[in-house]
Amino acid sequence: MSSDGPSNGTVEVFEQAATSYDRTGVSFFGPFGAELVRRAGIRPGERVLDVGCGRGAVLFPAAQATGPAGQVTGIDLAPAMVALTAEDVTRAGLTHVDVRVGDAQQPGFPEGSFDAVLAGLVVFLLPDPGQALRAYARLLRPAGRLAVSTFAAQDPAFVAALDALAGHLSADRPRPAPAADPFADDAAITATMAAAGLTVTAINEHRVDSRFRDVDHWMEWMWSHGGRALLRHIPAHRLEAATTDAARALEPANRPGGGLTLTTAVRITVATPHPAAEPPETS
């Protein structure tokens, strides 16, 4: 892990979540990953980098799109994620896919290595998203493209439930102060990409409905991904009360036949590197 990469705490969260990540029976990362690959227009034979590959929500659709004539490389800072995803790759017989430990903040590849760089729900977790985007731009070939997914709108019930959980944080874990969001809307995204040397060619919104049996299933799902970063700072003796408060906040998401449905929207941004400046003519 580079000194400028995600903190040890962030890596630890995903290390601990690796075995259950995207394995709780909830439709979430998979549909978003498949749509990211579709919007990126991945073609047979292309070389693709998936940064923050996790358990392969983007990696496997990309591998299907490139076919065996292409090459897909996935990197993640959590060794447990990498090991489990590599096992899945081997089991699937995908000889054109490589998964390795690597830093999404500063991928260590030569310039112009890839036709496409894909970043599914990861860039906003990095210490310096702008720096990461500049790194991705350098990795692209002249006609390459970057495809990034970022959150557009969370279900109001989900936001309320997170707020309820945050009310039970340890006294030494104050709520983080709101920060400027470089992906807050289309204008912010376009400006952020431009500052990184990228031209936005498309921004599209994609929504996914996630269904849960009950609040306990929702909590199981929360423990299985980055939500663990919040939950682990709630004292054990307060978890039951926190769950009760979250259940109350989630009531608007209750379905008539039982269970919960939460709708999440992401923005999928596709961008290309700015053209290289032409050298001045000499007489």
pLDDT of residue 180: 80
SS3 readout for 230-267: HHCCCCHHHHHHHHHHHHHHCHHHECCCCCEEEEEEEE
Q: What tokens does 202 get? A: 């498309």
pLDDT of residue 103: 97
Q: Dump pLDDT digits (tens) for 199-219.
A: 999 999 999 999 999 999 999
Q: Dump pLDDT digits (tens) for 224-237.
A: 999 999 999 999 99
How far apart are the C-alpha atoms of 182 and 185, rounded to whole Å? 8
Domain ranges of the chain: 8-154+176-210+264-273
pLDDT of residue 192: 98
pLDDT of residue 220: 97
- For residue 87, give the 3-state DSSP assignment: helix
- According to CATH, the topology of domain 8-154+176-210+264-273 is Rossmann fold (3.40.50)
pLDDT averaged per 10 residues, the chain (length 283): 50 91 94 99 99 98 99 98 98 98 97 98 96 98 97 96 95 70 96 98 98 97 95 96 98 95 98 72 54
